[in-house]
Amino acid sequence: MAGSHVLGTSSQMYRGGDTQYLDILLTEDCNLRCHYCYLTGKNAVHPMPAQVARDAVDFFLRMPIPRVGVVWNMIGGEALIAMGLIEEFATYFKSRARQLNHPWRYAYMIMLSTNGVLYDDPRVQKFLFENRHHVYPGITIDGTKRKHDMHRVFPDGRGSYDIVARNIRLALRQFPYLGTKITFSHADLEYLCESIVHLWEMGIKDVAANVVFEDVWEPGDSELFELQLRELADVALARGFWRTHRCSLFWEPKVPDSDYNTCGTGKCASVDWRGDLHACIRFAEHSLAGSGQSTRPIGNIYTGFNQGYLRAFKSLRVSLLSPPDCLACDMQDRCIWCSGQCYEEAASDTIFHRTTTICEMHKSQWRANQYYWQQLERNHGIKPSGRAANQQPCLI
């Protein structure tokens, strides 16, 4: 008998997705040293000055309003290291939005992107309580203890799972619909199924997951990836998780109907400590450190967006970036890449470059996704809707 399903559907978005996402890069410092982190230039030298944070608020509130709501993403480094600046930012934004009677006065969310280590700090808890209707903690937990502690470690090598798991349980009591983000690389791929099931069992109903885009994959990884995903599909179907839980590794098969770039580059903006504007945090200085590439700011909060620089990011298209084999591939549905990582790997300083290092991983994911939907239809009579994904236009 057909029934409702959740696994394979898209996550619920704030204000239905009609929301502007803006990153505030509070600090380039972090209290963890995660092995797969793309922010390779962590340092304590460049905290965002409070005046730059206030000026960023004024800059965006003066702009024409492209969305009905805004999500201010407090990010680092580790955002909660800069709790004082977060408090000052929130107070100033609420005051200015009220003075201007800005539409974002009520339609806003403050997201705290955090590794969860400092989540139970009294100052953090006070902020969460005082802003409880307009705040969302984006805590990362990487699955089971052995999986999490392989990579998400303190500078002295200690794993952070015990602290983060305790704080996740606290956060779930405060925010029952809390989601999380999990990343897989070569060394921990064998723990994929058990890790996602572990997070579901903890009470996290929405798990965003991906494999790293960097060239770390070895022969046999794609086959293991597919086996782990098929096992996860079987567990979800056997235990009923398909009715109640999400994981972004499964999606509704769709016919691609858009030539838009697949990632969020150009649809958001990131502000760094200088006030420079970036198309994504991966184009900021502390992300590109060691890559040999220079930063590609698209403007500055004091001078505005540079339309010439923006034009290149607006022009990013699947058809322009993809080699012929990719365009002809019948498994290109939900084939994604990271524009910042592609820029890092480019032989020149162009952003019109697409890496294909996860090609075989994607094909394995595509096949496992087909398997899930076949089993769902066979056992429960449910077919994917085939609706095309919404694509948002560029920021400016």
Per-residue pLDDT of 226-269, as tens digits, reads: 999 999 999 999 999 999 999 999 999 876 667 777 787 877 89
3-state secondary structure of 114: strand
Q: Which domains does the chain have, with CATH numbers?
A: 1-388 (3.20.20.70)
Contact (Cβ atoms closer than 8 angstroms) between residue 19 and residue 68: yes
Indicate if the pLDDT at residue 16 is higher than 80: no
DSSP H or E run through 70:
strand 69-75
Do residues 298 and 269 lie in contact, with contact meaning Cβ atoms separated by under 8 Å? yes
Q: Does residue 389 surpass a pLDDT of 50? A: no
pLDDT reported for residue 257: 61
Would you state the structure tokens that stand for residue 19, as one six-digit string?
Answer: 């929301």
pLDDT digits (tens, 9 = 90+) for 79-133: 999 999 999 999 999 999 999 999 999 999 999 999 999 999 999 999 999 999 9
* Tokens representing residue 123 in the block: 């100052």
**Between β-strands 108-114 and 69-75, what pairing exists: parallel, antiparallel or unpaired?**
parallel
Q: How many CA atoms lie within 13 A of 388 on its CB side?
A: 9
The total of other beta-carbon atoms located within 10 Å of residue 249's CB is 26
Q: Can you give the pLDDT at residue 223?
A: 98
pLDDT per residue as tens digits for the range 163-211: 999 999 999 999 999 999 999 999 999 999 999 999 999 999 999 999 9
Burial 345-363 (b: 16+ CB within 10 A, else e): bbeeeebebbbebbbbbbb
CA distance 80 to 133: 19
Q: What is the pLDDT of residue 229?
A: 99
pTM over 0.85: yes
SS3 325: helix
C-alpha span between 318 and 336 (Å, rounded): 10
Helix (H, G, I), strand (E, B) or coil at 24: strand
- pLDDT, position 130: 98
| Residue range 337-361: mean pLDDT, rounded | 92
Q: What is the mean pLDDT of the chain?
A: 92
Rg of the chain on CA atoms, in Å: 21
Residue 37, C-beta contacts closer than 8 angstroms, at least 6 positions apart? 30
Query: What pLDDT does 60 receive?
Result: 97
Mean pLDDT of 131-148: 98
- Judge whether residue 149 has pLDDT over 70: yes
Which H or E element spans position 361? helix 359-380
Q: Which residue has the higher pLDDT, 288 or 255?
A: 288
Q: What is the largest CA-CA distance in the chain?
A: 60
Question: What one-character-per-residue DSSP string does 156-216 give?
Answer: TS-B-HHHHHHHHHHHHHH-TT-EEEEEE-GGGGGGHHHHHHHHHHHT--EEEEEE-SSS-
How far is Cα 192 from Cα 143, in angstroms, rounded to an integer? 8
